[in-house]
Amino acid sequence: MKPAVSSAPVALRVTRGQIIARGLTHRCPNCGAHSLFRENAWFRLNSDCRNCGFAFERGGDEGFFLGSMSLNYGVTLMGFLLPVALLAFFGVVSGRVAVGLAVGGAVIFPMLFYRSSRSWWLMNYYFFLPHHLPANGGTGRAGGDANT
Ligand SMILES: [Zn+2]
């Protein structure tokens, strides 16, 4: 006999609102612990959460965080370089100042935004696929559960 399948949506233990809040504050998307990045190392993501063991690094899917680089480039362009160009265009700053700001900012801004871009990329993934989180019954990855 075939088991009855419910078409009712399964309630999420971790909601999309919680995923956004955790992503914006660089917390584990699964449990909310402050363990996404290593202490005293700005550019080092922990391989997994120290609280719940959720794996941040994706063995076998090295390209996963390429999206965070694209996000970082996009935010640098729209959030810093475009405003500098507009300031120069409208004569608020001189061309030399704008070039100096653009060159310096194109290096410094992505470095400062690095942690947010990683965290926001994880947030983006689990916002659209919240059922992949272990707290919501998934395995953390696509293809690991019936909800792929
Ligand atoms: Zn966790």
Percentage of the chain beyond pLDDT 70 is 87
| Residue 36 contacts residue 28 (beta carbons within 8 Å) | yes
Is residue 59 pLDDT above 80, yes or no?
A: no
Look at residues 33, 60, 25, 64 and name the one whose alpha carbon lies nearest to residue 49.
33
* pLDDT for residue 28 is more than 60: yes
Inform me whether the pLDDT recorded for 65 exceeds 90.
no
25 pLDDT above the threshold of 60: yes
Q: Calculate how far, in angstroms, residue 54's C-alpha sits from the geometric centre of ligand 1.
A: 5
- pLDDT band, residue 147 (cuts 50/70/90): very low
| Distance (Å) from CA 49 to ligand 1 centroid | 5
- Is pTM beyond 0.85? Reply is no
CA–centroid distance, residue 46 to ligand 1 (Å): 11
Task: Supply 136's token pair.
Answer: 């919501």
Which residues 6+ apart lie within 8 Å of 25 measured at CB?
34, 119
Residue 105 pLDDT greater than 50, yes or no: yes
Tokens of 36: 């996404």
| Average pLDDT of the segment spanning 71-92 | 95
pLDDT band at 10 (very low <50, low <70, confident <90, very high): low
Report how far ligand 1's centroid is from the alpha carbon of 112 (Å).
24
**For residue 55, how far is its CA from the centre of ligand 1 (angstroms)?**
8
How far is residue 131's CA from residue 145's CA, in Å, rounded to a whole number?
9
CA 43 from centre of chain? 14
CA distances from 84 to 71, 80, 99, 120, 140 (A): 19, 6, 9, 24, 40
Q: Which residues lie closer than 8 Å to 88 by C-beta, 6 or more apart?
A: 94, 95, 97, 98
Percent of the chain topping pLDDT 90: 65
Show me where the domains of the chain are located: 16-136
| First-to-final CA distance of the chain | 25
Distance 14 CA to ligand 1 centre (A): 12
Q: Quote the Cα angle for 17-13-52, to 5°.
A: 100
Average pLDDT on 75-89 reads 95
